[in-house]
Structure 1
Amino acid sequence: MARILIPLAQGCEELEAVTVIDLLRRAGLDVVTAGLEAGPVKASRGVMLLPDVLLDDVLDQPFQMIVLPGGLPGADHLDRDPRIRTLLERVTRENGYTAAICAAPKVLASAGLLAGRRATGYPGVLEPLNLQDVAIDTAAVVQDGQVITSRGPGTAMDFALELISILAGKEKRAEVEAGLVR
């Protein structure tokens, strides 16, 4: 079974984080939420999230996917954390998946993981980075190889369902989606 890491930073977008965590767990996937620091995470709209573990406690554990929720300043905290960069590089090297939504695709860009790829993100997040070798798309979800990006809170469900398709197959996605009464 695929093991997924979702780092939670202060100021993350709660709709994105909770939607992805919830739907991946509905699919029976092994989801680990990890706080960058001890204690609850106060999300961008004031919702308090309680991570499963501290990030330091899982740094050496294997993951097949890392999913970065967006939101500000959450994505900035992820971008400045060298542990996140190390994890992204390791998962990429091990042929795993890296996924980011909203403002978090800029973390993938900073790590060099969007070079030569198509990607999307919250409007205005990637464009100022002058990424000459990234084709910025406006689709709700974009997969280019092992990298998956999405636009924002309104696309969180589509993003999570696509991650289920990738990790558990289209039948599992259909099963989870049916239970959502979409």
Structure 2
Amino acid sequence: MNKKIFVMLANGFELIEAMSPVDVLRRAGLHVVTVSTVENTLEVESAQKVKVIADANIADINVGEGVMVVIPGGFPGYINLRTNSKVVEIVKTYLNDSTKFVGAICGGPTTLGINGLIGDYKFTCHTSVKEEMGSEKYEHNEVVIDRNLVTSPGAGKSIEFALALAGLFVDEETITKVKKGMELI
């Protein structure tokens, strides 16, 4: 698959919530592009003070090449993402296209809630931001998939979230191979 999966990184992102999807999706053979949302640099610092060099800067990506955008949480990363007009526009574009997907974990779903994009989608998120979603469609689950939106509540569910994202694009045999390689089964 040459369509790209964009994982958005902002200063203060949650390391495990961003890198678990990168790892699992790449293991599944998918084309993942980590994207710095920090102006004029590829370097992004996680909430845990780990510096990551992204594959591309948001100013340089072709949004049309993507099939999914992933929004990790982490404080203040999720706030930096939800207030970035380019990120919000990409999420809105992907959400409004039934052939594309949005994945969001922990505080990441607030990008949809705060910007009036959650609509009638069922979702989950970190319990600390549930009230910011502006919706009664919250579900307390490891992963919630509703149409083209995939959400998860937080860092402890990062692997389940990543496997659910991969499952949108690859067959069960590939998922099983990834799980075996990670000693999950």
CA pair 56-47 structure 1, distance change in 2 beyond 3 A: same
* Equivalent in the alignment of 2:127: 123
> Which letter maps to 2:106?
C
Q: Could you list the per-position Cα deviations for residues 17-75 of structure 1 after superposition, in whole angstroms to 9, with x for gaps in the alignment?
A: 11111110011100011101214111001111110011100044421100011101000
> Which letter maps to 1:27?
A
SS across alignment from 1:32: strand
In the alignment, structure 1 residue 111 sits paired with structure 2 residue 112: no
Shift in Å, 1:114: 1.9
Paired residue total? 180
In the alignment, structure 1 residue 23 sits paired with structure 2 residue 24: yes
CA pair 114-169 structure 1, distance change in 2 beyond 3 A: farther
Check whether the contact 1:100–1:108 (CA below 8 A) recurs between aligned residues: no
* Distance in 2 of aligned mates of 1:60 and 1:163: 18
In the alignment, structure 1 residue 9 sits paired with structure 2 residue 13: no
**Structure 1: segments with no counterpart, 5+ residues:** none
Q: Could you list the per-position Cα deviations for residues 70-116 of structure 1 after superposition, in whole angstroms to 9, with x for gaps in the alignment?
A: 10100000011000111112222332101100110100223333211
SS across alignment from 2:163: helix
* Percent of aligned positions that are identical: 30
* Distance in 1 of aligned mates of 2:57 and 2:42: 9
* Distance in 2 of aligned mates of 1:31 and 1:163: 12
* Distance in 1 of aligned mates of 2:115 and 2:55: 25
CA pair 155-21 structure 1, distance change in 2 beyond 3 A: same
* Equivalent in the alignment of 1:144: 146
Matches within 5 A, 1:26-175: 26-37=27-38, 38-95=41-98, 96-127=100-131, 129=132, 131-132=134-135, 134-175=136-177
* Distance in 2 of aligned mates of 1:46 and 1:88: 26
**Structure 2: segments with no counterpart, 5+ residues:** none
**Please, what TM-score do these two structures have when normalized by structure 2?**
0.92
Which portions of structure 1, spanning 4 or more consecutive aligned residues, are displaced by more than 3 angstroms?
none
Check whether the contact 2:110–2:133 (CA below 8 A) recurs between aligned residues: no
* Distance in 1 of aligned mates of 2:160 and 2:9: 20
Shift in Å, 1:130: 6.1
* Distance in 2 of aligned mates of 1:130 and 1:69: 16
Check whether the contact 1:105–1:126 (CA below 8 A) recurs between aligned residues: no
**Please, what TM-score do these two structures have when normalized by structure 1?**
0.93
* Distance in 2 of aligned mates of 1:147 and 1:154: 19
Check whether the contact 1:59–1:87 (CA below 8 A) recurs between aligned residues: no
